Amino acid sequence: MWQALSVESWKARGRSDLSKVFPIVNDIIEQVRGEGDAAVLRLTARFDKVELSDLKVSRAEIDEAYSKIDEELLEALNFARSRIEAYHRRQRPDDVTLFKDGGSSLGWKYSPLLSIGIYIPGGKASYPSTALMCAVPAKVAGVRNIIACTPPPVHPLTLVALDLAGVDTIFKCGGAQAIAAMGLGTGSVPKVQKIVGPGNVYVTAAKVLLRQEVEMDFPAGPSEIAVLADSTAIPENVAADILAQAEHGPDSACALVTDDPVLAEKVGRIIEDMAGRSERKELILSSLKNSGHIMVKDMVEGVAACNELAPEHLSIQTADPLSLLPLMDTAGAIFLGNYSPVACGDYTTGTDHVLPTAGNAAVHSGLDVLHFMKRSSVQLLDQGTLQKLAPATVKLAETEGLHAHAESVRVRLKK
């Protein structure tokens, strides 16, 4: 079960072959484009085995969900929400309306997007933490209209979390048809400017195919973790972090990157023992087929390997993890030291757990406030600065054949 891996073999396991499902997903999209709500209801009955007459979750359904949640769990949700909000408020950028550059005043301003669609996986499971992670930063950014889609039957926990996070409208639909509904608009589901949230291969394929219709976040598929560890690491901690990600599903990918063969052997034995006793044994054992250790000669090579992996989660369990932090360029989220389990980042530290996977952390950041905002540049010129900029502006414009551009400058200098 626990095996030796190479960087390339681990990366290959994290890649989803979306092209195989593109024809299926494209057909779903075209059905939604042509028939709107009717197509979504029909597809929901087909894929989720739930017959619905209305896609929208009513206020009565949300209130009923609260009655099914015990007080301690509600407190935990509110605690997590407050931590996520506090962290993301610190991310909110300030406008720089004007700063002087000679006779010109330059700056920028940030504006929230007007409408956001959130996708929360569901059906057989409940992900209230993902509901908070998607909706709270959008709310902090100031998005005016936030809608969410999640497959039926919707778990009460998911409804409560979406309501606590300030989502305006919730819809009972999932899969590629939900992405199409938010991206194209239907009779019930409004078209949004951007869609965020993780999902399976069909959801991810729908995001790719609908990029010309609506802005998307990034590919967020099966869970990943790479643990960079040396001889000082506690084997039980390493094993526990790997198992925590392995229980997400059979396509999860987990790797221990180490220069210590003794540690690799110990971790492997502990993982096999803990997996055998786990409540989710079959799921974890299936996932561990994609997992193992990558041996490196030293931590310099280990850092390079982790940067090439670009994992969703990177745990650094070494003698001096802070010294390695400046060298890490590609991970979605980084966890330092023996007392920073990824599970806390999944729920309560306040950082966001919606992260790019399958190597996409090399070029994408995890979900944050800036995903829900856009920036506009601002400029104010006085007459003297215009005269200073005019010669180069006119010359460049006329060289490109844009004579009206040049004239828009010259006309101001004649006054």
> Active-site residues: which are they?
312-313
Cα gap 6→14, rounded to integer Å: 13
Per-residue tokens: 309: 């992996």
Cα gap 153→334, rounded to integer Å: 34
Cα gap 95→113, rounded to integer Å: 15
Helix (H, G, I), strand (E, B) or coil at 319: coil
Helix (H, G, I), strand (E, B) or coil at 202: helix
Strand-strand pairing, 96-101 and 104-112: antiparallel
Query: Taking the CA atoms of the chain, what radius of gyration do you get in angstroms?
Result: 25
Cα gap 162→154, rounded to integer Å: 11
CB 331 within 8 A of CB 313: yes
Helix (H, G, I), strand (E, B) or coil at 97: strand
**How far from each other are the two terminal CA atoms of the chain, in whole angstroms?**
80
Helix (H, G, I), strand (E, B) or coil at 379: strand
Those residues whose C-beta lies under 8 Å from the C-beta of residue 368, and which sit 6 or more positions away, are 88, 91, 137, 352
Q: Look at residues 221, 192, 189 and name the one whose alpha carbon lies nearest to residue 208.
A: 221
Q: Side chain identity at 246, as an amino acid letter?
A: A
Question: Residue 195: is it exposed, middle or buried by C-beta count within 10 angstroms (0-12/13-18/19+)?
Answer: buried
Structure letter (DSSP) for residue 56: B
Q: Which helix (H) or strand (E) holds 145?
A: strand 145-150
Backbone angles phi, psi at 225, to 5 degrees: -150, 140
